[in-house]
Each structure stands twice: as structure tokens, then as C-alpha cells.
Structure 1
């Protein structure tokens, strides 16, 4: 390792050692730079003079094509690694500030376009809307009150159940949950379970099958009725062929009028299916109580208004032990049935739903009157309702 003597004849540190010393000093963890000692200043001055001498010698040589020689002066505390690191941090901070500025401008633009995104969060509306869409637990008994009335929004094609308690109800057949089957009144657990499955199949075929809703013949539902109930089947056949006030197929099957269609492909459902002993040994009654909500839109081009029709049905199915009763396997017997229709033209008995729209060109009937009734109130008993007349609704 080469060494140099200073002007006083004493041994001097090598250039490499001095450069390493300054580099280590510059890498101190955040310490303030120290004033170089007299010896350090003297060595630095000597190195500077050597650089100047080399520069003058280079000028006397070839004037073109001279390479850029590297100076002997080591990196100082303002030009060494520590200072470069500080410059790097400064660039990072500047980039971070620029990124934050861009994000802030984008946020302002979004706020200008959709202020409800911020306003709803500040006011708590967003959280309320999220809770309003949470699905409800299955119904296991008759409710004691009507659903909350805090649903002011109007339905749209994109959100046809907006503004309705049904927004929290199950979709379609998922809303018909079967209770656990148990052996009862001379029927095995398996027989009761089969009866529950058949009852659900009938409710789906009669009220949720897209073909049935479109107005087609509900053959799948008819096939589930025990042929022994010939009189009932004859009534239903006459109603489907020529509906009138005395034999309206809407009493059993849900169909939309030709001027309307479903807004989307979802019907909301809420209710329960209970198992009770039948009137005689070897029989079990299945009591169904379900409300179906149909969002409908007119079929004319460009129609966007959504109007919801609501039907509540109470129906008794009877399952019998074939060892004690003459029944056809794979079918059920229908008992008493009641229905209540909300938002459909009164005194129109053509077997279809005809909800009201702002467009007066649709099917209409007498003007409703009387005390408003909530069609979503499942705490009411349909047996207490007066079936005649044309009442008003508190909401749809």
C-alpha cells in the first residue's frame, strides 16, 4: 500500500485509507457532519493540488480524444454515499407527494360526479342500506307485526325490490324451506319428508315456474294433485280454459297479464311450512303460508317503470299412508286454500295479475277504497279477511 509523507516529513495515511475514513464518517446514522481536522484539511489541499497538476499536464498533451480521468479527491461528506442517500429520500418524498396529489384530485373528481358515495357514508345511509339488504332468518312462526316502513325508495329495473321489505327475503324456491321431517300420526319420517318435498314442488310449479308466470298451462302443478280429487281438477281445468269470477285460476296459480313481464328473473318469497297431525290416523297435514312478490314491467318497448304485485297464499296439503288410504304415490291432496292479492286490478277475473302503472293504458278496475292494508304484513290471518271488495294498499 503506497504512502506519502506530508510537507513536515512525517508519514501520511494512504489515499485509499483516507477515502475509506471519509466514507465511514459519511455513513453515520443521522449524525451532523463534523468539521475536518487540520491534518484532514491539509491532505485534502494536497490532493486538490495534485488534481490541478494532472489537469495542466493533460492540456499539454493530445487536445482531442482525452478520456475523462478520475480525480484523486475522495468523496466528501456533501458528495459521498450519505448525502446521495439523503437525495434519494428527497426524491422518494417528492414522488410520494405527487402521488398523493393525483389521488386527491381523483377523489375530488369522484366526489363531484357521485357525491352520494361520501354523503351516504357520512350520514350513515350506506350502512343502513347494507343492513336493509341482509337476508332475514327463515320464518318459523306467524310474525307479531308488519315489517318496518323504512323503505322509501322506488324500484328500478336494476333493483326491482328497492324500497320493499322483500329486498331481504329469499329468492324463489330458496324461500320455501322445509322443516325437519319426523314420524307422525302413523306416517314414517320418510313418508312425511316425501310429502314435504311434494308440497314444495307444487308451490314452485304453481307460483315460481317461469312458464306458469308467463301464462302457460301449469301442467307440472296439476300433475302433483292426486287424481282422486277429480272434482277439484275439473274446477281448475274450467278455470284455465275460461276464467271468470267464479272460477279464477289466480286462486291457485300465479300468472302475469299479457301486457306485463317479470322485471328480471327473481321472485321474492317468505313464509313457512308446518307439519300437523291429520284428521284421521295415517294422515298428516302440511300447512303452507307464503307471500310471493312479483316485480313487473310493461312489455311495450322502452318501458322502465317497475310495479310489484304481492300474493299471499295459505294452503293445506294432506299426506296419507298408502297402507291405510287409497292415494297415488308421488302426489298430494289439496285441502282448504286462501289467497290475497295486492296491487292488481280489481274486478278483473281473467286469471292474471294486472298491477297499476303511471301509464293509464293498462288494465284497470274500480277505484280502491277503505282502510289501507299492508300486503307485507304476515301477522294478519287471511281467514279474518273479507274476500269481496277492492281495498287500498299502504305500499307495494
Structure 2
């Protein structure tokens, strides 16, 4: 039995690692025990070990058993460093800090502007806020849907209507909210002629005809949709006696070339269709009509009516409602064709006068121009005294409004 010399002792240097695997060493001991004469595994030389170590350092790592596939390993992540407060060099730049503060100031400024606009709108139109309170819609709708209707007016009232809630401003759904006109009758139905009777040699039927024709004239001049949109009052002209050429000629000139002294709005209600339109299809009307004998064969009819027009801006989605109020007083005469040189059934326009409220001052283009909330008037400044447009107790002064003078402020619309 032969024994193999013991293997060389490994180098005791700290960086030395044997290249003989456990499997090779166990195979050698087994052969020696069985009497095999195989040579023991040889330990690599020091130079070989140095080369192997350098290759391992260069390539990263090799298989511990030798002969294995090279594996690439990711470089371990750096250990997190303890937190330290930023210094004046390492912290955020002062420009960045100032920029953040400036952006915050701009944001708060924008919020402030929006709040100011909202407060202004609510101040002008409290209904924007009140309408959204719980229970307000049902209560307001109930009041607006069925306001107590006033009885027909038969004579001039002795005082102005009672004050109304000025915070209840008009809307598209309720354009007469907050106005005394909410209790007035609508349109032509509000013009109720009195009972006719025979006067001045005319029969009751003749007087009834004079009253009906006066109503027809008021409707054609102030309620006709085409006329309200700036059209020609042809139906009203058809009721005037053509044997009054001077009156018809004057009115046609006013429509063609309106002036301060000759305005069509002194007799006809007209609005610029490019500027405004009616808010709905209802115009509120209140007034009365009387008649008396003129001369033999003539009946003289006097009509005193106030018309309230709710308006919105044309061609837009604005829901702001403005009301223009117009009070008119007319005198028309119907004559017996057997006694007078007149056209049977036609009216003679003897006199007319009007007062306008919420209409721009100093504009003479043949239209009414209402002013709206949050809008500055574009016409001349008002110089007349403050007036209540719903006060029908005072008489109309000749020429006080129809010629454009005496334009004043109004206490309500």
C-alpha cells in the first residue's frame, strides 16, 4: 500500500484561497484508501493564484466550484445618509421661494376679485342668493303665480301704489316681481272701455264705436309685437282719418327721421330689436277711458294708460330684466259724417302726451333704450326730479317728456 505525500500546506497569507474543491479532495482520499496510485491534486502555484485573484477582481465574481458561468451582479445601492438640514447653498433658491409666494398671492387676489364680483351681483340682485335659500322658490312661485289682481281702474287714483319689496327683483320666469304691475291686468284685456251712452246727438252705438276704436288704437300703437320690435304702426295709421293729412304727415316724418321735437315714441312704443327684446309675451297695463260730448255730432274720448314692458338684452344669454314704464294720455274724436267732413268710422287724433321711465336721456333715434343693472347710462345725465313711474295720481304736464326735456331719476321700476 502506497501512501501519497501530504499536500502542500496552503499559503497562510490573508488573501490566499485554495483552488482545490472539496469534491477533488474527497476523490483523492478515496483512491488512497483503496490503494490507487493516482497522484493527488496539485495546488496551483502562487503566481497562478495571483492571476486568478486578479481575474476575479476584474470580472466581479466566479462560481465557487470552478468551471461555472460568469454572473453579473448589480452594484449594491448606497446606504442612505442621515438627514441634515439644508444649508444656504444646498437649500432651495430664494427665487423659487419668492416665486411660490407670488403664485399664492396671485391665487388669493383672483379669489378676492371673484368674491367682490359676487358681492356686487348679490347687492344689485339679491334674488340671485335668496332664490337659492331652502323654501324660497316655492314661496316666491306661489306669490308670483297668483298675485291678487286689482279691480279695473275707472278714474284717476288719489295716490301712488303701495311700496313693494325692492329686494324681489325680476327674473325671466317672473319679470314683474317686485313691481306694482304684478297685480295689473295683461295686455289688451286691461283696456276696458266704459259703458256707452248717447251724447251730442250721437247714438249709444256711435259712442260704443268710438270707444272700441280708441282701444284698437292703443293696442296697435303700444302692444302690437311688430311695432314693439321697431316696425311700422300701419294698423294704428289705418284708424286715423285720412282727411287729417297734417297729423299723418307729421307722424310719418317722425318714423323716417326722428328728431328731438318730433319723436315717434311720443305716440308709439318701439324698441331697437338689435338691442333688447321682450322678456316673455306679457305687457302689464293699467288705466281708464272716459268720454264726453265735444260739439254737436262729436264724441271726445280721453284715454290715460300706463304700459310696463319687461326687457332683456337681445342676442345673449343674460337673465337681467329691465322694465321700461310708459304713461300715455290721448284725446281722440269721432264725428258724425252727416254733420262733419270726415271719413265714417275714423278717428281724429286731437292730442297726445307721454312720460317715459327707465329710458336713456337725450337719445332721439325713434326707439326706447332701457338701462340695465350694473350698466352705466350711455345717454345724457338725468337732470329732472326723482319720480315714481307707477304714480298715476298726478296729471301729465304738456310736453314734459314727449319732447325729451325734464328727464329725471326714478324711485323704482
Which residue of structure 1 lines up, in the alignment, with residue 264 of structure 2? Answer: 249
| Residue 280 (structure 2) pairs with residue 260 (structure 1) | no
Write out the 4+ residue segments of structure 1 that deviate beyond 2 Å after TM superposition. 112-118, 129-132, 358-361, 383-387
8 Å Cα contact 2:144-2:174 kept in structure 1:
no
The structure in which a higher percent of residues are helix is 1
2:240 is aligned, of 225, 243, 248, to 225
| Residue 412 (structure 2) pairs with residue 395 (structure 1) | yes
Which residue of structure 2 lines up, in the alignment, with residue 313 of structure 1? Answer: 328
Q: Which has the larger radius of gyration?
A: 2
> How far did 1:130 drift?
6.9
1:322 is aligned, of 316, 333, 337, to 337
Q: Tell me: CA distance 1:326–1:190, structure 2 relative to 1, closer, same or farther (3 Å).
A: same
Which residue of structure 2 lines up, in the alignment, with residue 382 of structure 1? Answer: 396
Which residue of structure 1 lines up, in the alignment, with residue 382 of structure 2? Answer: 368
Q: Tell me: CA distance 1:198–1:117, structure 2 relative to 1, closer, same or farther (3 Å).
A: closer
Q: Tell me: CA distance 1:130–1:260, structure 2 relative to 1, closer, same or farther (3 Å).
A: closer
Which residue of structure 1 lines up, in the alignment, with residue 302 of structure 2? Answer: 287
Which residue of structure 1 lines up, in the alignment, with residue 179 of structure 2? Answer: 164
> How far did 1:392 drift?
0.4
> How far did 1:114 drift?
2.9
Q: When the two structures are aligned, how many residues end up with a matched partner?
A: 277
Which residue of structure 2 lines up, in the alignment, with residue 115 of structure 1? Answer: 135
Report the TM-score, using the length of structure 2 for normalisation: 0.64
Which residue of structure 2 lines up, in the alignment, with residue 151 of structure 1? Answer: 165
Structure 2: where are the runs of 5+ without partners?
Answer: 1-131
**CA separation in 2, counterparts of 1:126 and 1:240?**
41
> How far did 1:180 drift?
0.6
What does residue range 1-396 of structure 1 map to in structure 2 within 5 Å?
A: 114-116=134-136, 129=143, 133-152=147-166, 153-257=168-272, 258-278=274-294, 280-358=295-373, 360=375, 364-383=378-397, 386-387=400-401, 388-396=405-413
8 Å Cα contact 1:308-1:355 kept in structure 2:
yes
1:77-111 deviations in Å (ceiling 9; x for gaps): xxxxxxxxxxxxxxxxxxxxxxxxxxxxxxxxxxx
Q: Tell me: CA distance 1:381–1:116, structure 2 relative to 1, closer, same or farther (3 Å).
A: same
1:321-377 deviations in Å (ceiling 9; x for gaps): 11111221231111111100000000101111111013548x721222443100000
Q: Alpha carbon RMSD of aligned pairs, Å?
A: 2.2
> How far did 1:389 drift?
2.6
1:59-91 deviations in Å (ceiling 9; x for gaps): xxxxxxxxxxxxxxxxxxxxxxxxxxxxxxxxx
SS in 1 for 2:388: coil
Report the TM-score, using the length of structure 1 for normalisation: 0.66
**CA separation in 2, counterparts of 1:131 and 1:298?**
24
SS in 1 for 2:408: coil
8 Å Cα contact 2:355-2:400 kept in structure 1:
no
Structure 1: where are the runs of 5+ without partners?
Answer: 1-111
8 Å Cα contact 1:338-1:382 kept in structure 2:
yes
